[in-house]
A and B are shown apart, each in its own frame.
Chain A
Amino acid sequence: MGTMIAIILAGVFTNNFITVKTYGICPFLGVSKKTSSAAGMGIAVTIVMVLATLVTYPVYRYVMVPLKFDFLEIIFFIFIIASLVQMLEMIIRKLSPALYNSMGIYLPLITTNCAVLGVTELVIGDMSQFLAGASMNVGWAVLYSLFAGLGFTLIMILMSGMRERLNYYKTPKALAGFPTAMVTASLICMAFMVFTYIQL
């Protein structure tokens, strides 16, 4: 139970992917102009993160490490992610065209989203700081990726809300677009710095 709480807090707040780890910034800046698209992107990323961890972690730990093929991890992980994304896109298009229209368009972008590769690389590394003494296994890896994804979604939605508001204000020409978004993101980060003082 303690480990579960520690992982949830770490994923969503203390080690938030955007505000602390700075993973997945491209979609964070690119797809956060509207709340609906930000939420869609966030959920799509979360799903791919969970599925990717579910596949890569067991294969890495129980096949690649014993066979000493762990140096091929990057190629293997990116290949799994690319195939997963492709497959997911095909499945969604077939099953639910409505869902595809609202979410599927973000899927191709996810392959090159570092949050996904980042989480698969993170869970095979040293996770002891999030585990509160428990030993690492597939369950914790998937749980961590799920809550890291939800933390990512949370920030996406917060950011899109702020940017929707910002549309009503006039900004100097040089500051329009990315610079304003970055300063906004900086303010969100400052607010989230509070959570790094949580001691688990």
Chain B
Amino acid sequence: MSSGPGEPAAPAIVVLLDRLAEWQAHEGEPIEAALGAIEDEERSARRRLEDAQRQAAALASLRREQEELRHQLEMESLRRRRDGVRDALAVDRSLLEARAGELLELLAARDRELGLLLAAPALAPAVSGYLDATDRLAGARGTGAPAPEDLLPPEDRALLEPYLRAAIAPPPSLGAPPAGVGVVISTDPPQGRPEALLVVLPVPWSVYAGATSRPEDLCTLLAYRLVAAVHALLGEVGAAEAVVRFADLHGSLALQVWLGDTQVVPDLRDRLLEGVAGSVEGAPELNAAGIEVYAVWLTPDILMESGA
């Protein structure tokens, strides 16, 4: 602060303070301006942040909706696959049962013809001898008894030989169009060393549950071959002592094997797929019925309801 004309000069301290105040105001001006600009930017940034947060919240909500839809789609897909597998198993069972019935009729007709041929008087002594031998051997199963034909005189045996061969000849062809049925295989967990194995056969549960009261037909013979394949494989992989349980899965016969107590190789699935194919290869009754067996691997969730 300077003095005007006639005015007394201001004290030095006042002048100094005035000058310092002017200097500070001059130096502080750009700083204040900068701070003001920063505050403006901060406010702007906060607004943008709030907008972004609102947008993120909206997106999160949208994400949850879409994830729920995706989950519903997956559940629906699983449900449809389960239903599809159940339906497919039923279709395969029906096909096999139908052809099993036809094949039984064909075999019965062939047996009737053969039975009439065997009733010829010229064969009577040989047939009578054979039936006597059969009676004598009744109840001797398990004791290493010979087959009845082994007890016949050579001439009677020679006479009966063509009929014995005819009786065990492969079944005649149904002439039905080739059709495939599926054997469903599943391991749990699906990858790595399996702890459980499930094999669903395309045959009705009654093949096991009513084994002694139903005919030993195409379904039964297929089950024998597949059950044998499973046991053979369990033996090969060091799990011969694993307990195999038979269960009714949607009306089909299923084999459940707990492998957790064994050291089973991780490639069990591939070996079983191969084993199934090998077990039915060239099976005369399947050839006669025009049935081809395919092994299909599915994840366990498709076969079993959660907690089932």
Real binding pair: no
Task: Give the interface of B toward A (CB within 8 A).
Answer: none
Task: Give the interface of A toward B (CB within 8 A).
Answer: none
